[in-house]
Amino acid sequence: MNSLIKKDFLSILIFLLFFLLYAINADYGHRVDNFPYFDNVEVDIDNVGTALERNSINGTEAIQLENPNKWLMRFRLYSIDADEMNNIMALARIKPKELKFDPHHYSYGGGYVYPLGVWFLILKQTGFIQTGGLEWMINNPQEMDRIYHAGRIFTLVAFFISVLFLYYSLKIIRNQKFAFIGSLIYLSAPSLFMFAMVMKPHVYALLWTNISIFILTRSYFSDRFTFKNVVALGITLGMVVGSVLTYALFAIMVWVGLFYFANKGKLKYANLVIIPIIAIVVYFLVNPYVILNYDAFVLETTAQQSWFFIGSDLKYLRLFLVNSLIPGFGVGIVMLLLYIVVFFIFNPPVIGARLIASSLLLVVLFISSISASVSDWHINSRYVFYLVPIILVLYAIYQESSIKILSTILFFTLLQMFPLLLAHYDEDSSEYSTRLQAAEWINNNIPNDKSVCTSGRSIAPYDSPPFNFMRVNVDYEKCDFFISIDRQSDHVVDDPNKELMIRFEPRFNIKNIPLVYSHINPQISIYKK
Residue 353 near residue 344, CB atoms below 8 Å: yes
What rounded mean pLDDT belongs to the chain?
88
pLDDT per position as a tens digit, 120-134: 999 999 999 998 888
Q: Which residues pair with 528 in a beta bridge?
A: 481, 499
* 351 vs 236: which has the higher pLDDT: 236
Residue 167 near residue 183, CB atoms below 8 Å: yes
Q: 481: part of which helix (H) or strand (E)?
A: strand 481-486
What range does the domain containing 36 cover? 21-69+80-151
Residue 389 lies in a domain: no
CB hemisphere CA count around 12 (13 angstroms): 13
**From CA 477, how far away is CA 311, in angstroms rounded?**
31
Distances in whole angstroms, Cα of residue 156 to Cα of each of 36, 201, 235, 349: 33, 11, 22, 36
pLDDT per position as a tens digit, 13-56: 999 999 999 999 999 999 988 888 888 778 777 666 666 677 77
Residue 44 lies in a domain: yes
* Residues 106, 112, 115, 121, Cα dihedral to 10°: -60
> At how many degrees (to 10) do helices 387-398 and 201-221 cross?
20
**From CA 73, how far away is CA 140, in angstroms rounded?**
11
**From CA 242, how far away is CA 236, in angstroms rounded?**
9
Residue 363 lies in a domain: no
Mean pLDDT of 71-75: 89
**Chain Cα centroid distance, residue 433:** 22
Q: How confident is the model at residue 309 (pLDDT cuts 50, 70, 90)?
A: low
Q: How confident is the model at residue 62 (pLDDT cuts 50, 70, 90)?
A: very low
Q: Which residues of 383-399 are buried (b: 16+ CB within 10 A; e: fewer)?
A: bbbbbbbbbbbbbbbbb
Could you please report the per-residue DSSP string of 491-517? G----TTSEEEEEE--TT--TTS----
Choose among 514, 156, 518, 166: nearest CA to 334: 514
Look at residues 151, 169, 198 and tell me which one is the last residue of a structural domain. Answer: 151
Q: How confident is the model at residue 310 (pLDDT cuts 50, 70, 90)?
A: low
Percentage of the chain lying above the pLDDT 70 cut = 91
* Residues 337, 343, 349, 351, Cα dihedral to 10°: 80
Residue 175 lies in a domain: no
Is the pLDDT at 349 greater than 80? The verdict is: no
**From CA 505, how far away is CA 521, in angstroms rounded?**
8
pLDDT per position as a tens digit, 41-52: 787 776 666 666
Is the pLDDT at 484 greater than 80? The verdict is: yes
Q: Which residues pair with 504 in a beta bridge?
A: 524
* 400 vs 188: which has the higher pLDDT: 188
Residue 310 near residue 373, CB atoms below 8 Å: yes
Eight-class DSSP state of 454: E
pLDDT per position as a tens digit, 400-432: 768 899 999 999 999 999 999 999 999 999 999
Look at residues 151, 179, 202 and tell me which one is the last residue of a structural domain. Answer: 151
**From CA 379, how far away is CA 320, in angstroms rounded?**
10
Listed in sequence order, the residues at least 6 apart from 346 whose beta carbon sits closer than 8 Å to its beta carbon are none
* 372 vs 472: which has the higher pLDDT: 472
Look at residues 151, 183, 205 and tell me which one is the last residue of a structural domain. Answer: 151
Residue 438 lies in a domain: yes
**From CA 176, how far away is CA 359, in angstroms rounded?**
28
Residue 105 lies in a domain: yes
Is the pLDDT at 8 greater than 50? The verdict is: yes
Is the pLDDT at 314 greater than 80? The verdict is: no
Mean pLDDT of 215-234: 89
How many distinct structural domains can be found in the chain? Answer: 2
Neighbours of 226 (CB within 10 A): 11
Q: How confident is the model at residue 274 (pLDDT cuts 50, 70, 90)?
A: very high
Q: How confident is the model at residue 369 (pLDDT cuts 50, 70, 90)?
A: confident
| Count of helix runs (H) and strand runs (E) in the chain | 22, 5
Residue 33 near residue 75, CB atoms below 8 Å: yes
Structure confidence at residue 343 (pLDDT) = 82
Listed in sequence order, the residues at least 6 apart from 427 whose beta carbon sits closer than 8 Å to its beta carbon are 28, 29, 31, 80, 433, 435, 520, 521
What three-state secondary structure class fits 260? helix
Residue 422 lies in a domain: no
Choose among 193, 198, 276: nearest CA to 241: 276
**From CA 188, how far away is CA 316, in angstroms rounded?**
26
* 502 vs 344: which has the higher pLDDT: 502
pLDDT per position as a tens digit, 150-162: 999 999 999 999 9
Residue 370 lies in a domain: no
